[in-house]
Amino acid sequence: MNYPNGKKTNNKPVTNRKPKQTPNFSNRGMTLEEDINQSNQAYLSSGRAVIHKKPTPVQIVNVDYPKRSAAVIKEAYFKQASTTDYNGIYRGKYIDFEAKETRNKTSFPLANIHEHQVEHMKKVCEQDGVCFAILRFSKLEETYFFPAKKLFQHWDRQNNGGRKSIPYQTIQQEGHFIPLQYHIRIDYLSIIDEMYF
């Protein structure tokens, strides 16, 4: 068959076309956690601090043993609500923080943090621990250290009928920008050094 431009078409079926791939969303939202885990490992390796991700307590109810060497958990539930994501010790101070990511460019939704997490953070502050949140605006590729006491102000204001998010400009003003680096991706300890030591 000829098209109006006079060129012949090739009617042979295309065989080496790649199959359409579905996008892999399994690691979406994990980049902040991965960056923090890498930073914590660098701190640990250099002997600078001992900070780890807290495991979420899970009660296993049903396990299937298809082989002697492999067990498959079929049913489990959370024993209790988790507190914050990370804790440890640095220069004799207890460190406790939450890590949150948002795709929003203009504000950080307070719905991303749960009341039991805020209550836990308040108790850490009462004991003179270093408590904060690491907030990432993933679309802007910006990460901030946000002190817990600043977070409490916005949380309490929300509970009294105020805004249910923290504006991006407020986080810039009240928080501390953390530039991404190569060796220690998110060097939040340098901000703790400035604020507490």
- Model pLDDT, residue 18: 45
Whether 86 is in a domain gets the answer yes
Distance of CA 192 to the CA centre of its chain: 19
- Model pLDDT, residue 81: 65
Q: Tell me how far apart the alpha carbons of residues 139 and 137 are, in angstroms, rounded to a whole number.
A: 6
Q: Is 85 annotated as a binding residue?
A: yes
pTM over 0.85: no
- Model pLDDT, residue 21: 46
Whether 91 is in a domain gets the answer yes
Q: Is 117 annotated as a binding residue?
A: yes
Whether 57 is in a domain gets the answer yes
CATH number at residue 144: 3.40.1350.10
Number of domains in the chain: 1
Which one, of 171, 169, 161, lies nearest residue 132 by Cα? 171
Q: Which two tokens stand for residue 120?
A: 């836990």
Q: Is 98 annotated as a binding residue?
A: yes
What are the Cα distances from residue 3, in Å, to 7, 8, 9, 115, 161? 6, 7, 7, 67, 68
Domain interval for residue 52: 31-196
Whether 70 is in a domain gets the answer yes
- Model pLDDT, residue 10: 57
Q: Is 128 annotated as a binding residue?
A: no
Whether 99 is in a domain gets the answer yes
- Model pLDDT, residue 3: 52
Residues 6+ apart with CB under 8 A from 81: 114, 116
Mean predicted lDDT score pLDDT of the chain: 85
Other CB atoms closer than 10 Å to residue 100's CB: what's the count?
Answer: 17
- Model pLDDT, residue 72: 78
Whether 15 is in a domain gets the answer no
CB 113 within 8 A of CB 133: yes
Residue segments in the chain with a per-residue pLDDT below the cut of 50:
14-30
DSSP per residue, 136-188: EETTTTEEEEEEHHHHHHHHHHHHTT--SEEEHHHHHHHSEE--B-SSSSB-T
Q: Tell me how far apart the alpha carbons of residues 1 and 8 are, in angstroms, rounded to a whole number.
A: 6
Q: Tell me how far apart the alpha carbons of residues 145 and 167 are, in angstroms, rounded to a whole number.
A: 15
Q: Which two tokens stand for residue 25?
A: 């969303």
Whether 156 is in a domain gets the answer yes
Whether 1 is in a domain gets the answer no
- Model pLDDT, residue 19: 45
